Structure formats: structure tokens, C-alpha cells
């Protein structure tokens, strides 16, 4: 599972970036970066699990739990953006973008490693 592999490196990358932002004297921006990256990681894990359940050989299985998980994913993003809106005067926009980039970079790296190894499934 690529998202699971990406969480460890994404967490390290996020903590390194947040530490740098705190060192620059912007603790609220560091919080925004960290929370944004954490929500991205959680959503990546949930989506990967959801797709593993739905996209099975044969007939697709879309149960109530899958629909509830999709709704929960969007609700989590909504809570994140609501939180960011509330603290918008204290944060920098680039910190939010950096939070998204931390997990996306880790996800791309994990995908590249899996493709290099020829991993198809686990």
C-alpha cells in the first residue's frame, strides 16, 4: 500500500518543514502546515483503503460504510478549511501549500519506489 509507505516519510518531511517555519518565527504557519499535511495523510490512507475495498475483481462493492467514509473524508477537508479560515490572519498561504506538498512529495516518492521495484500489490 503506497499511502502507508508514504506516511512515515511524509511525517518526517512535515516535521522538518514545520520546524523550519517555527525557526523562522511563524508558529501559526507551522501549525497550519502540520495540520494540512496530517489531513492529507489521513485522507490518503482512507482513500486507499476505500478503493481497495471497492475495486475488487468481479462486482464492485459500494456499501454504506464506503459512502460514510467518503462523506467523512469531505467533512475532514471542510473542517480543515474552516479552521484555516478562522486563523487566516495569523498564517501564510505558502504554509498551507507546503503542508499539501509535504505529503504529495512523500506519496510520489513511495510510488516511484514501488514502481522501481515492480510492486503491483501487497
pLDDT digits (tens, 9 = 90+) for 31-75: 999 999 999 999 988 888 887 777 766 666 667 777 888 889 899
The pTM for the full model equals 0.83
Q: Show contacts of 96-99: CB within 8 Å, 24+ apart.
A: 96/32, 96/33, 96/36, 98/17, 98/21, 98/33, 99/14, 99/17, 99/32, 99/33, 99/34, 99/35, 99/36, 99/37, 99/40
Question: Where exactly are the structural domains of the chain?
Answer: 2-117
Amino acid at each position: 500500500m503506497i499511502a502507508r509507505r508514504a506516511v512515515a516519510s511524509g511525517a518526517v518531511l512535515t516535521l522538518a518543514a514545520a520546524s523550519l517555519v517555527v525557526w523562522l518565527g511563524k508558529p501559526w504557519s507551522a501549525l497550519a502546515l502540520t495540520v494540512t499535511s496530517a489531513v492529507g495523510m489521513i485522507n490518503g490512507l482512507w482513500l486507499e483503503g476505500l478503493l481497495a475495498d471497492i475495486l475488487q475483481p468481479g462486482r464492485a462493492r459500494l456499501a454504506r460504510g464506503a459512502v460514510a467514509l467518503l462523506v467523512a473524508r469531505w467533512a475532514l477537508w471542510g473542517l480543515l478549511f474552516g479552521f484555516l479560515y478562522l486563523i487566516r490572519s495569523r498564517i501564510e498561504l505558502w504554509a498551507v501549500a507546503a503542508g499539501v506538498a509535504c505529503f504529495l512529495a512523500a506519496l510520489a516518492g513511495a510510488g516511484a519506489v514501488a514502481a522501481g521495484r515492480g510492486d503491483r500489490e501487497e
